Amino acid sequence: MSEGLFLLVCFFAFPVVVFAQQPNIVLILADDYGWNDVGYHGSEINTPNLDKISASGVRLENYYVQPICTPSRNQLMTGRYQIHTGMQHAIIWPCQPYCVPLDEKLLPQYLKESGYATHMVGKWHLGMYKKDCLPTRRGFDTYFGYLTGGEDYYSHIRCASDSALNKSFCALDLRDGEEVATTYKGQYSTELFSQKAISVIENHNANKPLFLYVALQAVHSPMQVPERYMKPYQFIKDNYRRIYAGMVSAMDQAVGNITEALHRAGLWDNTVLVFSTDNGGQTMSGGSNWPLRGRKWSLWEGGVRGVGFVASPLLKQPGSFSDKLIHISDWLPTFVGLAGGSINTTKPLDGFDVWKSISYGLPSPRQELLHNIDPMFQEETPCEDEEYRLALSEVASREPWTQYSFNVSIHAAIRVSNWKLLTGNPGCDKWFPRPPHNTSLSQSDRLKPVMLFDVERDPQERYDLSDQFSGVVDYLLNRLSDYQKSALPINYPKSDPRCDPTSRGAWGPWA
């Protein structure tokens, strides 16, 4: 039986999933959380709550996110690749006048149509230059959190230097609904956000299904955490790693507290809880993706393979792990399917409903994954040395892209089945060992503009197979070319000087 026919038999012969009542959906998104920073991946950091909750659910071991903040959140909320929303380049900086296009229908809007109460706590980072971009204008009944990409954990002040404007701005970034929240100075954001999420749970009217999206600030820089969370990690000599470990412990406690609140409120038996990181760990801030290659901002596995799990009494195979291919864009159609809703939009989704794959262990409807195509890519903080840059440039000049169906100088990556193809500069290509892993992997062959890896057998991306499998390379380059034809022009506007928050006292809409 062919693979395609097998998939059809599995999906159409299996009973349709019908719930007695619409399940509550709770999505907890961590920020910059690395592959090797969770206990069940062998980390030296203790994560008892994440370990316990995930052990009773399904751990997603072939799960992918985007390499940086805004793109992951964009695909989570739209179910569409970033090339199809014009947001394939970088993140939204505080003074850029754009947001997720207003003609895109977001996840909470779908769930509201299905009768859900929709609440958000935490980091937005999907644009806020005008009021129509705010969470409460995009489908959330309530919102408490911050609108930009990062800030001080205690003062909730965001300082941003804008080179285009040649100015620096510092202002509060904390909102309760659409109003500036001024009374929370000194409250550590991981604890503050978990308390707000618990308040939503405790005050929820059980006559309606609940959608709660908790986008934690943890464990993004700056490196800040109450001392009590760091005490167990005095054995970690690296200062950043020690602080980071404390931040992870604070986050682990927050997830445990939120889950316990669901139990106390009598909601757990009909709840689907999803935990996910938004991108790979930032090694410069204490994170670890060991033994995966790369870090945040890169298209290597260390940048895009994410820690994630689903926990729920509604799962049919609890206590298991899934190696099915799943992407962050799949949550929108999956949640809408759980809600009994429909995808009534003229914009085709790139995500798939993967509930049967997670719950029953059936094959994933996703067999292909576009990581990104970004012709404007520049690393925020390159890790390679000058010798590397010159070598890659030399190879690119010897192998002109015109011989290929796709411009291989472009930062891009695609996965089909077990194969992953990278072109251009994928980003920082190093392996970053952390104690107790004090051995270093040998460098792979010199980087090339086109690289092919069998990531099922070689998840560390050590062995480039592009020379041995030219037919696979040609096929994947053609797929990249097809995607590029469907891509919208990049929307990445210049900074707007009207963004200056000093006159308003806080970051927020200015247009």
Q: Given 119, 125, 156, 327, which residue is catalytic?
A: 125
Residues 6+ apart with CB under 8 A from 450: 399, 404, 408, 421, 422, 423, 466, 473, 477
Q: What angle in degrees, to the nearest 10, is found between the helix axes of 189-202 and 239-264?
A: 10
CB contact at 8 A, 48 and 450: no
CB contact at 8 A, 471 and 111: no
- What 3-state class would DSSP assign to 20? coil
Q: What angle in degrees, to the nearest 10, is found between the helix axes of 239-264 and 48-55?
A: 50
* Interatomic CA distance for residues 261 and 302, integer angstroms: 33
Question: Is 69 tagged catalytic?
Answer: yes
| Element spanning 253, H or E | helix 239-264
CA neighbor of 92 nearest in space, from 133, 144, 64, 32: 133
- What 3-state class would DSSP assign to 276? strand
Q: Given 41, 69, 89, 411, which residue is catalytic?
A: 69
* Interatomic CA distance for residues 367 and 306, integer angstroms: 17
248 alpha-carbon distance from chain centroid:
17
Q: How much helix, strand and coil, in percent to the nearest 5, is found in the chain?
A: 30, 15, 50
- Token pair listed for 406: 């796709």
Question: Is 383 tagged catalytic?
Answer: no
Name the one residue in this structure whose structure tokens are 């990556």: 413
CA neighbor of 316 nearest in space, from 60, 11, 25, 57: 57
CB contact at 8 A, 343 and 336: yes
Which active-site residues does the annotation give? 69, 125
